[in-house]
Every structure is written in structure tokens, then in C-alpha cells.
Amino acid sequence: MAAVGYARVSTREQNLDGQTDVLEAAGCKKVFIEHASGVLAKRPALDDALDYLRAGDTLVVTKLDRLGRSVRNLKEVVDGLEKRGVGLKALSQGIDTTTPGGRLFFHMLAAIAEFEHDLIVERTKDGLAAARARGRKGGGRIKMSTTKIRQARAMYDEKTYTVQQIAETFGVSRGTIYRHLGEDVRA
């Protein structure tokens, strides 16, 4: 029954010393240290820590945000730990999933996060449906027909219109005009 620490810094300016000191004070004999950003999919030190842990061990972090990139990702990690009989302690939040109260608190937190995610998805769908009802298509780039591209090229070649004016004429961004007219336009 070992306490195993995991520390991660998310920016170059952050220092690991504070995290490792707290983890060692909490009884962690082994601490895995991640130097990569949490937004990156690959976190080799976390993978090593997860491989190292055995049933009855506890993974200790200073804060929950050190462990997961998102609440959903955090829940996946904790679910994986639970299936293996490994606990989680988040020192700053006072969460300890080796206790019934700690498990309850964590799962309530995860349920609230899932609910929030579902609300965002629902609002997004409602917004897209409302936009479609007004004649707008959701997502993707605005398409320019071959005819419109030729017209935009002719306007540009006349040298009387700016790229911004051409974009406004066709209801697209300057980037769309640049993309269709080619690199020679950006000179």
C-alpha cells in the first residue's frame, strides 16, 4: 500500500519544487514528474505512474488539475484507477477516493461536469437549429462558386478594389479570397 506522487507543470515558468515537497510531506516515497503541458495527449510520466501502481496503492496529486486535461479526462483516469483497486488523493481539494465520502464527492463532481457538458451540447444544437431556420448553415467554410471566384479575380485584377472590399462583396473573409486567388495576391 504505497503512496505514489504525480507532479506536472503546465508552463515553463512553473516550478516543480513546491509540488514535490508537498507530495513527499504527504508520504510519497516515489514521485513521477511530468515536464510536458497537460493539453498534450502524451504524458509519459503519468503513463509510467499508472503502470507502477498496484492494487491498494494511492496516486497522490497536489491538485486535481495536475492529473487531468479536462473533467471528462480526469474521470476516465479515476475510473481506471478504481477498476484496478487504486485510490486517488488530491491534497488541495481534500479528496480521497479510498474513503466512501471521497468517492461520493468525486463522483458528484464528475456528474456535475457531465451535466454541464450535456448542457453545452444541447445549447450548441439549439443554436445550430435556429441558425438553419434563418437560412444559415452551421460549420464549415463558406463556399465560393467557380463563377464567384472568377468575378473576384476580375475585381482584383482591375486594381480598383481591395481584398477587403472583394471579401465584403461576396460575404466571405479576406482569407477565403486569398485562398481562392492564390499566393500571388499576398505580394
Enzyme catalytic residues: 10
Question: CA 168, CA 23: separation in Å to the nearest integer?
Answer: 57
